[in-house]
Structure 1
C-alpha cells in the first residue's frame, strides 16, 4: 500500500457541465489508482453503501431514491427550494457517512457528481438566492483537488448526441439551443467558483478520454504527490 498508516486520504472531485466527461474521467481515474495499489473508492450519484452498516446503507439508499429515482413528473412540481434542501440532505449524508470515514481511514476518494454543478445551477436560477445555496453546502468536506473539465456547450451537446433532460436545459426549452444557452451560463458560474488553487482547469473539448486521464495523472503527481508508476 502506498498510503502511510495514519495518513488521511485525498478527496478528488470532478466538476464541469453536463456532457463534459466527468463520469468517464472519474471511473478511469479510479481504475488507474486501484491498479497502482492506491486504496481508492469511487463515489457517485448513486453510491449508498455505508461500510459495516446495513441499516445506514438502506437509509442512504432511501434518500437517494427520493432525490434521484423519482418519477419524471415530480421534479418540476416540487419547486426549486424543495430540491435545493433535498440535495443538501443527500450530499450531507454521503459526506458524513461515506466520504469522511474513507478519508480518515487513509483511502482516497474520487467524487463524481460533486455539488459544484448544483451551486452553479442555482446561481443561474432567479428563484433561489445564491447565498442560500452556498451556505447549505458550505459544511461539506473541502476537496484537495477539483478537476474542472472545460468544454464548449455545443461540443457537450454533440457528445450527448442531442439527448438531454429538461433539467439539463434549465427547463427553458427542449431545443439544442436551449441546452447550449443554459450550459453556457452554468459554465460561467463554475468559473466564478474556481478562485483558489484547489481548482485545476482542463480544456477537454478536443481531447479523448485517454488524453484527459494522462493530463489528470500528471496533475495528481504535481498537486497531491500521488504518482502512478
Structure 2
C-alpha cells in the first residue's frame, strides 16, 4: 500500500491522476513553488517520487501509475536508484568485498544520484515530462542517518535535488517484504548491506533485516 506522505503544491484544479485521488497540475506550465535551487527552477515537468522498503511494492505501483498516465497521452519517464552503470559496478564490487564504510557508502550513492539527476531527471523535466522516481533523496537520508552519517553532510550532498511535486511512501509488513526479497533473490536472504548487517553486526541476515 502506498500513502501520499508529502504534497508540495496547493492546487485549485482536479487532476487527471484520479488513480491516486489527488491533485497535480499536468498542463505543462512551470511550477516554481516546487523547483528550488539551481536544478529545475523553471522546469515545466512534474516529479513524482515513490519511497519505501525493498519489497514494499513500489515497482508495481509505479508501473500502474505510468500506464495510467500514458493512456492519457502524458509523456512519462521512470528512473530508478543506481542508474549509472559505472558507479553501480563500483558499488557492487565494494559491497561484495564489504569495503563500504558509512561515508564511502554515502558518497558513492550520492555520485550515482547526481548522474541520475543530470542525465535523466532534469532533461526529462525540462522537456515537460512526468518523471516517476523509484527512490529519491529520502532513501539516502534514511540509509545514511541509520549509519550515523552526519545529517548536514547528507543534506549538502543532495542540496541540488529538486523538491518533488508528490511523494508516496509504500508500506508492507517486514515479513512480507522479506519474503519478496528472498523470492527475488532466488531463495537467498537479503545482502549484507541490504539487511543492515554492517550496522547491527548481526550474524543472521534475516534477523538483521527484521
2:196 aligned with 1:170 = yes
* CA apart distance, 1:83: 1.9
* CA apart distance, 1:4: 4.4
5+ long unaligned stretches in structure 1: 48-59, 181-229
Structural mapping, 1:87-102, within 5 Å: 87-102=109-124
Matches of 1:98 and 1:138, distance apart in 2: 17
2:185 aligned with 1:154 = no
Q: Say which of 111, 117, 129 aligns to 2:133.
A: 111
Decide whether aligned partners of structure 1 residues 160 and 86 sit closer, same or farther in structure 2, where only a CA change above 3 A counts. Answer: closer
2:158 aligned with 1:137 = yes
Q: Secondary structure at the match of 2:170?
A: strand
Q: TM-score, normalised by structure 1?
A: 0.63
Q: CA RMSD in A?
A: 2.3
Q: Say which of 65, 86, 93 aligns to 1:70.
A: 93
Q: Secondary structure at the match of 1:164?
A: coil
Matches of 2:57 and 2:69, distance apart in 1: 18
Select the structure that is richer in helix: 1
5+ long unaligned stretches in structure 2: 1-15, 17-25, 31-43
* CA apart distance, 1:140: 0.7
Residues 100-109 or 166-175, more deviating: 166-175
Q: Secondary structure at the match of 2:99?
A: helix
Q: How many residues align?
A: 164
Decide whether aligned partners of structure 1 residues 71 and 89 sit closer, same or farther in structure 2, where only a CA change above 3 A counts. Answer: closer
Decide whether aligned partners of structure 1 residues 82 and 105 sit closer, same or farther in structure 2, where only a CA change above 3 A counts. Answer: same
- 1:44 aligns with 80
Matches of 1:64 and 1:160, distance apart in 2: 19
Structural mapping, 1:183-198, within 5 Å: none
Matches of 1:141 and 1:101, distance apart in 2: 13
- Listed one character per residue, the Cα deviations across residues 40-87 of structure 1 (whole Å, up to 9, x for unaligned) are 11111354xxxxxxxxxxxx43233323x436523x214221121111
Q: Is the 8 A contact 2:45 2:124 kept in 1?
A: yes
Q: Is the 8 A contact 1:6 1:105 kept in 2?
A: no
Decide whether aligned partners of structure 1 residues 125 and 39 sit closer, same or farther in structure 2, where only a CA change above 3 A counts. Answer: same
- Listed one character per residue, the Cα deviations across residues 112-146 of structure 1 (whole Å, up to 9, x for unaligned) are 132312211111113x2122112211211111111
Q: TM-score, normalised by structure 2?
A: 0.68
